Structure 1
Amino acid sequence: MLNQYFADLHIHVGMSESGKWIKIPTSRHLTVREILQEAAERKGMNLIGVIDALSPLVLADIRVLIEEGLLVPVSGGGYLYKDKLLLILGAEIETRELHGGLAHTLVFTPDIDTMVKFSAYMSQFIRNINLSSQNAHMPLKQLVQIASGFESLIVPAHVFTPHKSLYGVCCARISHILSDKDMYKLAAVELGLSADSIMADRIAELNEYTFFTNSDAHSLDKIAREYNILAMENLSFEELAKTMSRTGTRQVKANYGLDPRLGKYHRTFCANCNYTDTDGLQENHCPKCNSSNLIKGVFDRINEIADYPKPHHPSQRPPYLYQIPLEFIPGLGKKTLVKLLTEFNTEMNILHNVSYEALCEVSGSKLADFIISARTGTAAIAAGGGGIYGRVLK
């Protein structure tokens, strides 16, 4: 009998406990210690990936938490926090293709010793190994070949976004830049905030891959704005690997993500006049001001490169369920959020389980209506683009 776990595999570290920046700009509160506390106690996560563990500063903080007994090594890989949350160590690494396109890739390792070795090896290519998501000055093919020697799980990150992603700026097909052998070494694919499986399954080469939706959190409150439900035997790196490869009956049961319209890069955006296109541009200029200074949206990029006019979902593809985080709910302030969390414990419980009547008692009917409409996918949304989030309409 498999267990079900909430998982968010893309969380950044902003600062070390020694007060040194790791990712700029992020929150000073985004330390490994506070991430673990937030994810376990407030968000209700069971498994998280911290993707700045390539940094020796982050590794040092993780060692302290292990020495304190707050993190306990798991036999199958990973570290258990307070018997309720598994920490997986990851790195987000930037690569550059020959024509100049940049992309981010997540690399997860089973334990701190392996990540220390990987970090030491990559330091010969990365100019400042202490900082997040640094350019490794190599193409993805080379990174895949290196990372596969460290017992790693390799996951291309936010693959459609117009900045630093494979389909966004590097290639129309990953198979154009990777051999079949290297394609096989990819464990899964991360969709990103502005895409869903309906959009991604219009590209044939992705049919064999497991999809993940993750938060890419740059602050504590963004943790679990996107997440996954995993069916696994237990919490361990080994079980995560088997879930990505769908070994036995292990699988991603569901992807919970923002409605793509809420993402920052869903539609094409004019950087000159701030026009967000919702009709589908026919020319490479803004219909409002005629500027060619456009940031192509994920929606339009997929239309440009898709194999199929409609999605071809493989049999193993789980449902992609639109989830609007509490922070997107209009009128839901910090005081009311604290009241909801005090009464119902975690954001996962509020979003998934608490009844309408119970929500009304704590937040009032108007906010309860918004939360339920977010849960059922009936909320009205204005699309985002060009780095500006979409929004739930009042």
Structure 2
Amino acid sequence: MMQVFADFHVHTGAARGRPVKMAASHQLTVSASLDWAMRVKGLHIVGLVDAVCDPVLEEIRQLRDAGLLVPVPGGGLLYQSSLLVVLGAEVEIRVSPRGAAHFGCWLPTVEAAADFQTWLKTVQSNTSLSSQVARTEPVRLADEVHARGGLLVVHHAFTPFKGLIGSAADRLANVLPLCAVDAIELGLSADADMADRLREMREFTFLSNSDAHSLPSIAREFNVLAVRELSFAEIRAACRRVDGRTVEANLGLYPPLGKYYRTRCRRCGAIVAPDPCACGADADIVQGVWDRIEAIADDDVPVHPPWRAPYRYIVPLSFVPGVGPRTYAKLVQTFGGEAPLVFQPPSERAIAEVVGERLAARIAAALSGRMAVSPGGAGRYGRIEEA
């Protein structure tokens, strides 16, 4: 088995000179994403979740035709012989009167992505832009994805904006059959302990992905997979835990660092659960993931199935006070990328040889989870508090 690092949720800010994900950086192009994922982050698999958008798909075809993306027999495209590229779409569907949810539709080939796009044009008004509303039902979406050999994943399931459980429904089974879903993406403010307090979640493989809207945010959360080779078929087998293929570990932000961890008022920034906000009628309250799960959990403590991958907390290097662009570049160059560095942290002494003793102590503390955090909420990331 191979041990590989994978981030399946990277957006595209612009392609062929046209905006794709409006909230994403225009520096987040296809070529830049692939280079950054491989060279800076040290990933082996990256998922482009806007690959079905018109200009992105055109660019991917061009890269394939130029021999820069090479189709793999088991599905996926290989970049520079070492990075597997998975093509996908993020589709928004209104699933209840309470709101809409985002679904990840991952496809094995360029042809499957193009065929899926043809269907998507019948239910979406603009397939040039990311995460557009589709006039369809979740079950129909799952059928269309699976008919093309793809995987359907619930994206950022617990977040308050466009998260299926985070805002639109109390249970996944209220929206579509559990068997229609191939995996659950937890999202930046959730972890396995929080999710496994809901009994229906224990059916699923969990994924921890970045939902990257910029180059630096790629792999701020990622997965460690055990597979026999780099291919879409092996990813499917890992999600289904077939013959030893599996997700070995989820590496994700310490949930309080996420920007939707606690219920906060966007106006004054105060944590307002369970106490009311001092802003009164002017309060702009965003429910946090922790508070949401407290409200709907089946059990007071998590119950993990025996095969559940361990969830390891990581702190992206860019979150550590004192790590600027130059220091970051020295670290990733020395240790072969950010993902391997945070997965198997080097000794504090080894880090000190690169950045000096004082900053090395801070980095080592962050990588081991020994830092105090001011929790995030209402769209504001949590902060590591300087010692």
Give the alignment's TM-score, normalised by structure 1.
Answer: 0.95
State which drifts further: 81-90 or 330-339. Answer: 330-339
1:95·1:104 contact (CA, 8 Å) conserved in 2? yes
Following the alignment from structure 2 to structure 1, what is the Cα–Cα distance between the partners of residues 333 and 237?
Answer: 36
Instruction: Identify which range, 61-70 or 253-262, moves more after superposition.
Output: 61-70
- Aligned 8 A contact 1:276 1:384 in 2: no
Q: In the alignment, does 2:301 pair up with 1:302?
A: no
Shift, 1:317, TM fit: 0.6
Shift of 1:100: 4.6
Aligned to 1:212: 207
Stretch deviating more after TM superposition (347-356 or 21-30): 347-356
Pick from 135, 142, 145 the counterpart of residue 143 of structure 2. 145
Aligned-partner residue type, residue 340 of structure 1: L
Contact 2:93 2:137 in 1 (8 A): yes
Q: Which residue pairs with 2:355 in the alignment? A: 363
Deviations 1:253-309 (A, max 9, x none): 1000000000010000112322124xx415xx32x3334531100000001110000
Q: Distance in 1 between matches of 2:226 and 2:336?
A: 23
Letter in 1 for 2:37: A
Question: Deviation per CA, 1:161-188, whole angstroms, max 9, x where unpaired?
Answer: 111111112111111122xxx3212110
Equivalent pair of 1:97/1:138 in contact (CA under 8 Å) = no
Deviation at 1:344, TM superposition (A): 2.7
User: In the alignment, is the contact (CA less than 8 A) between 1:77 and 1:237 conserved in 2?
Assistant: yes
- Corresponding residue for residue 156 of structure 1: 154
- Is the 2:260–2:289 Cα contact (8 Å) retained in structure 1? yes
Q: Which amino acid aligns with 2:370?
A: T
2 CA distance for matches of 1:350 and 1:234? 22
Residue 112 of structure 2 corresponds to: 114
Number of aligned positions between the proteins:
384
Which residue is 2:2 aligned to?
3
What residue number does 2:335 align with?
Answer: 344
Which residue pairs with 2:68 in the alignment? Answer: 70
Is residue 50–residue 56 contact of structure 2 (8 Å, CA) maintained in 1?
Answer: yes
CA distance, structure 1, for counterparts of residue 17 and residue 36 of structure 2: 19
List aligned pairs for 1:275-286, cutoff 5 A.
275-277=270-272, 280-281=273-274, 285-286=276-277
**In the alignment, is the contact (CA less than 8 A) between 1:75 and 1:236 conserved in 2?**
yes
User: SS in structure 2 opposite 1:137?
Assistant: coil
Once the two structures are superposed, what CA deviation does each residue of 1:357-389 show, in whole Å capped at 9, x if it has no partner? 121121112221122112211111110000000
Residue aligning to 2:90: 92
Q: CA RMSD in A?
A: 1.3
Q: Determine which of 219, 244, 249 is the counterpart of 1:249.
A: 244
1:300-325 Cα distance to aligned partner (Å, 9 max, x none): 00011100000011111111000001
Residue pairs, 1:193-212, within 5 angstroms: 193-212=188-207
Aligned partner letter, 2:184 = V
Alpha carbons 2:98, 2:169 under 8 Å: kept: no
Question: Counterparts of 1:341 and 1:171 in 2: how far apart (Å)?
Answer: 41
Distance 1:234 1:342 in 2: 26
Q: Structure 1: which amino acid aligns with 2:70?
A: V
Return the alpha-carbon distance in structure 2 between the equivalents of residues 334 and 293 of structure 1: 35
> What is residue 354 of structure 1 aligned with on the other side?
346
**Partner SS state of residue 216, structure 2:** helix
Query: What's the CA shift string for 1:101-147, capped at 9, x where partnerless?
Result: 11000010100000000001111111110100000023323322332
Question: Which sections of structure 2, spanning at least 5 residues, go unmatched?
Answer: none
The question of whether the paired residues in 1 share the 8 Å contact of 2:188 and 2:252 is answered with yes
Moved segments of 4+, more than 6 Å = none
| 1:63 positional shift | 1.1
Q: CA deviation at 1:72?
A: 0.8
AA partner of residue 379 (structure 1): M
Taking structure 2 as the reference length, what is the TM-score of the superposition? 0.96
Gaps of 5+ in 1: none
